[in-house]
Amino acid sequence: MESESNDLRVIKTRAAIESAFLDLLLQKNFNALTIKDIASAARIGRGTFYLHYIDKYNLLETVIDKGLSETVDRFHPRDYFLNGKVVPERIVAFIRSMFRHFKKNARFFQAMFFNEGIPVFRQRMQERFIKKFRTEMRTFPPVAEDPLMLEIMPMFLSSAMIGLVGWWFEHHMHIPEEEMARRIFLIFSRGPLRALGFTFIEDEKKESPQ
């Protein structure tokens, strides 16, 4: 029982420190934060802080790793296909669930996206998504038939999605998650130009009578 009580105390203390840390990141540049600031906000002593984290950089790494793991673990690209064919409802449901996750954890993402002292976050987020995509899709046809596309596509899609999520937060999440999911799938399935309503010369040739 004593061990369990100690474990719960550690969990609660870490949660308090990390929560206070996120609040501070929304107010102050990470580079300007001190251990004293964090400890004071978490209502603990400096000594207690050092029992759990080496320094503020270790705390930042811990928070980033936990937040990204909870996010990327929701991503299973192979599940969006059936017998090698796209299942639109699954992709739309996934995108919708991701935006709900972003909204639910807005404090974490806003702190990481917009604190000027944490410029590495977007890159780290992209790297985690790309690694997951390539791991799951490397042997999945027709991706396996085009190794170069396996290099280019996840970079292109992840850059677009991360930029879009940042924009969504900047505009106070004004577009509902359902609408975001449907519009994003439209862009994925049709391509940016066709989603905007443009047609291609090749399309006109196909439609013209022979």
DSSP string spanning the chain?
-HHHHHHHHHHHHHHHHHHHHHHHHTTS-GGG--HHHHHHHHT--HHHHHHH-SSHHHHHHHHHHHHHHHHHTT--GGGGEETTEE-HHHHHHHHHHHHHHHHHTHHHHHHHHH-TT-TTHHHHHHHHHHHHHHHHHTTSTTGGG-HHHHHHHHHHHHHHHHHHHHHHHHTTT-S-HHHHHHHHHHHHHH-HHHHHT---HHHHHHHS--
Question: Over 60: is that where the pLDDT of 47 sits?
Answer: yes
DSSP bridge pairs for 86: 81
Look up the CATH architecture of domain 2-53: Orthogonal Bundle (1.10)
Joined tokens for residue 5: 């009580």
Q: What's the length of the chain?
A: 210
Structural domain boundaries of the chain?
A: 2-53, 64-196
- Give the model's pLDDT for residue 168: 98
- Give the model's pLDDT for residue 179: 97
Read off the pLDDT band of 209 (50, 70, 90). Answer: low
Phi first, then psi: what are they for 35, rounded to 5°?
-60, -35
pLDDT single digits (tens) 16-25: 999 999 999 9
Question: Over 70: is that where the pLDDT of 163 sits?
Answer: yes
Question: Over 60: is that where the pLDDT of 166 sits?
Answer: yes
Joined tokens for residue 35: 């251990």
pLDDT single digits (tens) 102-142: 999 999 999 999 999 999 999 999 999 999 999 988 888 77
Question: Over 70: is that where the pLDDT of 210 sits?
Answer: no
Joined tokens for residue 197: 């309503």
CA distance linking residue 88 with residue 71, whole number of Å: 21
Amino acid letter, 93 = A
CA distance linking residue 158 with residue 155, whole number of Å: 5
Q: What percent of the chain has pLDDT over 70?
A: 94
Q: What is the mean pLDDT of the chain?
A: 92
Q: Residue 6, exposed/middle/buried by CB under 10 A (0-12, 13-18, 19+)?
A: exposed
Question: Over 90: is that where the pLDDT of 175 sits?
Answer: yes
- Give the model's pLDDT for residue 3: 64
- Give the model's pLDDT for residue 206: 64
The answer to whether 182 touches 92, Cβ cutoff 8 Å, is: yes
Q: What percent of the chain has pLDDT over 90?
A: 80
pLDDT single digits (tens) 61-92: 999 999 999 999 999 999 999 988 999 999 99
